[in-house]
């Protein structure tokens, strides 16, 4: 295995993050700001603000102390990616941007491939050309996924065969190999993090854990009665997103680039998540869950459980939050949110089915 040692200090480094407005982007930004980085993020133009997850750390760019800067761009736009890499001159690039919903990828397969697979290639190419023309060192992180293992049974580690089961997962496999190829062909310092599912109170609301904890909060507070779900038998290795962004950063602080699995090594079914989340507020999930076939996928990934021995032993990473703590953190946060919604609904400011 590769010899890995921490290298230079991180003071005053610049990071460029695609997907900064997402769950991981927001935790990574907080983490890097805490390490003294200047953090630049690529955001998509949207008809509504899409920076809610960054609001608590946002400082007006006119203020000279602002160290987070946002730029319009898109992984489908190679010219924008080149422009930002060339003008920002980052030390580290984190490619977190993606159409990241597995179910949606069956409905939008071309778009998913364009953003997830070709988007990674575009960003790698922007970094490669920048290095070639400036002679600077730029390190690249690729957000790989346990979905790449798909049908291959657990435990899954760095040597496990990929057998992707969705357009999203196939696209992530392509992005993985583009990253390996740029490392081998051009000597790029490029790492693949193969991250198993990681969740938080900032998780998108149409992923199963957050869908469940949102429903638990709203059901407990009397704003809804039921939640509609698909396959409850699938197992996932669920960790806390805040722990996982540290792993991304650690990979780029080593002497040599490499690929690492990041996982808790503990796996639970969706049903077990339901039991823990509803149980936390004294409810029985069976009274509130209905199955809706629309949430079943054309091909499912049944069982993911990572083996993260490599990153634990070589980089000293380990998760700090376990399954029960994760469920508690998410339910408590969504319970508080539901209480605020109830005040608004009771006073006629929103309808009870609306979210503020
Ligand atoms: P999210 O879905 O929360 O965030 C995705 C981010 O990508 C958002 O900032 C989104 O912008 C942005 N984005 C979407 N399309 C484009 C585009 N065309 N161009 C530029 N940016 C785009 O994902 P997570 O934070 O959970 O995940 C981060 C990365 O890690 C993703 O690549 C995901 O596939 C991968 N991953 C996630 C895991 C997990 O369990 N969370 C596990 C393994 C891998 P907007 O806010 O405008 O929608
Ligand atoms: P996943 O996460 O597909 O593992 O991808 P998701 O939470 O969407 O699904 C997990 C499992 O739950 C089942 N499920 C449902 N899923 C959703 N979204 N909605 C439902 O109503 C529902 N009912 C049951 C799914 O079938 C599945 O088996 C996530 C994403 O973050 C990816 O970007 C990332 O790469 C992988 O995790 C690792």
Residues with CB under 6 A from ligand 2: 100, 102-103, 145-147, 197, 206-208, 211, 229-231, 234, 236, 270, 295, 297, 300
Distance 242 CA to ligand 1 centre (A): 15
Render the burial of 65-94: b for 16+ CB within 10 Å, e for the rest.
eebbebeebbbeebebbbebbeebebbbbb
Q: Give the pLDDT confidence score for residue 191 in this predicted structure.
A: 99
Distance 315 CA to ligand 2 centre (A): 28
- Rounded to an integer, the average pLDDT of 317-343 is 98
Distance 279 CA to ligand 2 centre (A): 21
Atom 10 of ligand 2, nearest CA residue: 208
Q: Measuring CA to CA, which residue among 73, 77, 119, 125 is closest to residue 99?
A: 119
Distance 262 CA to ligand 2 centre (A): 17
CA separation for the pair 78, 122 (Å, rounded):
6
- ipTM over 0.90? The verdict is yes
Render the burial of 210-226: b for 16+ CB within 10 Å, e for the rest.
bbbbbbbbbbbbebbee
**Burial (0-12, 13-18, 19+ Cβ within 10 Å), 346:** exposed
- Rounded to an integer, the average pLDDT of 226-255 is 98
Please, what is the average pLDDT of the chain?
Answer: 95
Question: Closest ligand to 229 CA?
Answer: 2
Point out the ligand 2 atom lying closest to the alpha carbon of residue 172: 35
Q: Which CATH number fits domain 14-203+238-265+300-320: 1.10.8.60, 3.30.950.10, 3.40.50.720, 1.10.357.10?
A: 3.40.50.720
Cα 246–323–176 angle (5° rounding)?
A: 45
Atom 38 of ligand 2, nearest CA residue: 197
CA separation for the pair 28, 261 (Å, rounded):
18
Which residues are catalytically annotated? 145, 147, 168
pLDDT band of residue 62 (cuts 50, 70, 90) is: confident
Residues with CB under 6 A from ligand 1: 18-19, 21-25, 42, 44, 46, 50, 74-76, 96-100, 115, 143, 145, 195, 197-198, 204
Atom 32 of ligand 2, nearest CA residue: 100
Pairing type for strands 268-269 and 235-236 reads antiparallel
| Residues whose CB is less than 8 angstroms from the CB of residue 51 and which lie 6 or more positions away in sequence, other chains included | 21, 43, 58, 70
**Per-domain residue ranges of the chain:** 14-203+238-265+300-320
- Rounded to an integer, the average pLDDT of 113-124 is 99
Q: Is the pLDDT of residue 10 over 50?
A: no
List pLDDT tens digits, range 210-224. Answer: 999 999 999 999 999
Point out the ligand 2 atom lying closest to the alpha carbon of residue 230: 23
Q: Is the pLDDT of residue 4 over 60?
A: no
**Residue 120, φ and ψ in degrees, nearest 5:** -65, -40
What percentage of the chain has pLDDT greater than the value 70?
96
Question: Closest ligand to 298 CA?
Answer: 2
């Amino acid at each position: 295995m590769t010899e890995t040692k921490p290298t230079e200090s991180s003071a005053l480094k610049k990071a460029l993050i695609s997907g900064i407005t997402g769950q991981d982007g927001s935790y990574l930004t907080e983490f890097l700001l805490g390490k003294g980085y200047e953090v630049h993020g690529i955001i998509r133009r949207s008809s509504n603000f899409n920076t809610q997850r960054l609001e608590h750390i946002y400082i007006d760019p006119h203020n000279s102390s602002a160290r987070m800067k946002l730029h319009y761009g898109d992984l489908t736009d190679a010219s924008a990616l080149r422009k930002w890499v060339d003008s920002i001159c980052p030390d580290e690039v984190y490619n977190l941007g993606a159409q990241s919903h597995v179910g949606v990828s069956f409905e939008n397969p071309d778009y998913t491939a364009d953003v997830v697979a070709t988007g990674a290639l575009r960003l790698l190419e922007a970094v490669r050309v920048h290095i070639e023309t400036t002679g600077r060192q730029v390190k690249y992180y690729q957000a790989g996924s346990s979905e790449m293992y798909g049908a291959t049974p657990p435990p899954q580690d760095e040597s496990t065969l990929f057998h992707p089961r969705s357009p999203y997962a196939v696209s992530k496999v392509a992005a993985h190999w583009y990253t390996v190829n740029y490392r081998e062909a051009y000597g790029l310092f490029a790492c693949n993090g193969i991250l198993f599912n990681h969740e938080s109170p900032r998780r998108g609301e149409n992923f199963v854990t957050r869908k469940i904890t949102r429903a638990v909060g709203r059901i407990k507070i009397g704003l809804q009665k039921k939640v509609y779900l698909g396959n409850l038998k699938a197992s996932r290795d669920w960790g806390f997103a805040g722990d996982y962004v540290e792993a991304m950063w650690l990979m780029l602080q080593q002497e040599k680039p490499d690929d690492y699995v990041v996982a808790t090594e503990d796996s639970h079914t969706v049903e077990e998540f339901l039991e823990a989340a509803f149980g936390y507020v004294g409810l029985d999930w069976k009274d509130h869950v209905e199955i809706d076939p629309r949430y079943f996928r054309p091909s499912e990934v049944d069982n993911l459980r990572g083996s993260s021995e490599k990153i634990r032993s070589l980089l000293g990473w380990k998760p700090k939050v376990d399954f029960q703590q994760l469920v508690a953190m998410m339910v408590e946060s969504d319970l508080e949110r539901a209480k605020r919604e109830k005040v608004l609904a009771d006073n006629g400011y929103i309808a009870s089915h609306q979210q503020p």
